[in-house]
Chain A
Amino acid sequence: MSLSLLFYCVGGIAIGSAIFVVLNRNAVYSAISLVLCFFSLAVIYLLLEAYVIAVLEIFIYAGAIMVLFLFVIMLLNLGREDALPNLNYLQRATSLLLVLLFFVGIFLLMIGDQGLFPQPTEQFVAGGIYPLGEALFSKYLLPFEVASLLLLVALIGTVYLAKRKV
C-alpha cells in the first residue's frame, strides 16, 4: 500500500517537473527540472521492478544527455528568454485542441477495451540484467547492432558538424 502511495507521489513530482520544464523561461531551470523528472521516472521504473532500466535512465538520461544539454546552454549562454513568444491564437488553440484530442482518444481506447491491460503477474523475472542481455543478444541482435551503427553515425555526424568552420 505504501508503495502505491509512493508511485502516486513520484508520479505527481514527474508531472509537476515536466510542466515546469515546458513553462520555465530559464533554460537552466528547465534542464534541472527535467533531470528531476528523469529521477522520478527512475523511481517509477524501480517500482515496476525494471532495475536495469532505472539505473540506465539515470546513467544515460540524467548523467549524459542532460549534462550535454546543460553544457550547450552554458556554452551559448542562454540565460533566460525575455517572454513567451507571442503565438497567434489560432495556432495556440489548434495545438491545445490536438493535444486534447490525442489525450481523450487514448483515454477512450483505454476505457473501451479492458482486454488491453492484463492482470499483473506476481512473479516478475524480466527486470534483471540477465533476461535483458539474453534478449538483446539473441532475439534482438540485429536491432542491437543497428543501434550501435546508429551511434557510430551520430558520432561521425557530430564531429563533422562541430568541426566545420561555418
Chain B
Amino acid sequence: MIVPLEHVVVLSLIIFSIGVLGVLFRRNAITIFMSIELMLNAVNLALVGFSRYHNSVDGQVFVFLVMTLAAAEVAVGLAIIIALYRNRQTVNIDEINLMKN
C-alpha cells in the first residue's frame, strides 16, 4: 500500500477541522452548507481509508449511503435557503432570526 493509514486519517482530520471552522466562522448560509459538505467528505475519506486497510467493503457502503444523504440534504437545504431568501432577501444567518423576540 502506498501510504500508511495514519496519513489518510490525518488528511481527513484536517479537512474535517477546516469544515468545522467554516461552519463556525462564516455567516453566509451557502458557505456554511459547503463547509458541511466538506465535513461529510472528510468522513468519507476516512471511511474509504479504513475500508481499504481492513479489506472490507463495509466502509464503502457507508460512503455510498453518506452520498445519498448528502444529495437529499443539499436538495432540501438549498430549497430552504431559497425560501428564506425570498422572505428576507438575505442569506446571512445572523439576520435570519425569525424565532427571536
Say if the two chains contact directly (CB < 8 Å).
yes
Known: A34-B38, A102-B20. A22 touches B14 (CB 8 A): no
Check if B70 sits within 8 Å of A76, measured CB to CB: no
In the assembled complex, the Cα of A122 lies from the Cα of B34 at a distance in Å of 36
Check if A117 sits within 8 Å of B94, measured CB to CB: no
Q: How many A-B residue pairs have CB under 8 A?
A: 230
Q: Among A48, A64, A103, which residue has its beta carbon within 8 angstroms of that of B52?
A: A48
Q: Among B6, B37, B61, which residue has its beta carbon within 8 angstroms of that of A110?
A: B6
Q: How many whole Å from B28's CB to the nearest CB in chain A?
A: 6
Q: How many whole Å from B20's CB to the nearest CB in chain A?
A: 5
In the assembled complex, the Cα of A161 lies from the Cα of B91 at a distance in Å of 16
Q: Among B5, B31, B78, B80, which residue has its beta carbon within 8 angstroms of that of A27?
A: B31
Interface centre among B9, B79, B80 (most CB of A within 10 A): B79
B residues apposed to A, CB below 8 Å: 1-11, 13-15, 17-22, 24-28, 30-31, 33-35, 37-38, 41, 44-45, 48-49, 51-58, 60-61, 63-65, 67-76, 78-83, 85-87, 91-92, 94
